Amino acid sequence: MPNLDLDPRIQMWQAGLLQLRLPEGGEVRSLTAAEIEWLDRAAATEYIASEKQGQEAIFYTSPPPDFHLEAADWYLRPDDRWNHDPVLLQQMIQQFPTALFQLSVSGQSPAFYPDHTPDYVDAQEAVMRSIFRETVRIGWALPQYKWFVMERLRKTTARVTHDDAVQLLAQLQQMDSEPED
């Protein structure tokens, strides 16, 4: 890769495309057992890319503006499931512990709607339909909604209760829609 000015390098880093070039003989830090477990669980619940048990969702890099080799570590890469600037993997593990990434009651990856269990009532179905309409109005895809739920409720969409759904709907109704490209 040719040497780039700072602004293009930062933009490439923000897009998750700026891999760290290690000096000859240099090696990336091995992932810890906790990091591997987090990647596996987050990938199984489809909160990050599932290829290679989530390891395709990370890259080894150092942050701008200095890109110092000493600051290199594993970062979550922006993609169609995580649409944010890169963030340190360790920071994600602290903010969203592995235990939060729960499958649905039926053992499936969380989808938009929670499983229809005996606790799932018609009133919740009506609220979930309203939530779906709000996410369409806002311009969100399923991954954006899933992370919204994780950030607000600290649980997967598979574990959303009726009370949770009412709370989410109120928050979504306060949001503006995303501008058209």
Q: Looking at residues 84-110, what average pLDDT do you find?
A: 91
* Residue pointed to by tokens 């890169």: 86
Q: Looking at residues 118-125, what average pLDDT do you find?
A: 80
What confidence category does residue 178 fall into, taking pLDDT thresholds of 50, 70 and 90?
low
Q: Looking at residues 44-59, what average pLDDT do you find?
A: 87
CA angle, residues 24, 60, 75, in degrees to nearest 5: 165
8 A C-beta contact, residue 68 and residue 93: no
Q: Where are the domains of the chain?
A: 6-100, 104-181
What share of the chain in percent tops pLDDT 90? 43
Q: Could you report the per-residue pLDDT of 10-36, keeping only the tens digit for each? A: 888 888 777 777 778 778 889 999 999
Residue 180 above 60 pLDDT?
no
β-pair partners for 88:
75
8 A C-beta contact, residue 82 and residue 75: no
What confidence category does residue 114 fall into, taking pLDDT thresholds of 50, 70 and 90?
confident
Query: What's the pLDDT at 1?
Result: 45
- Counted residue by residue, the chain has a size of 181
CA distance 70 to 140: 37
What's the pTM?
Answer: 0.83
CA distance 128 to 114: 9
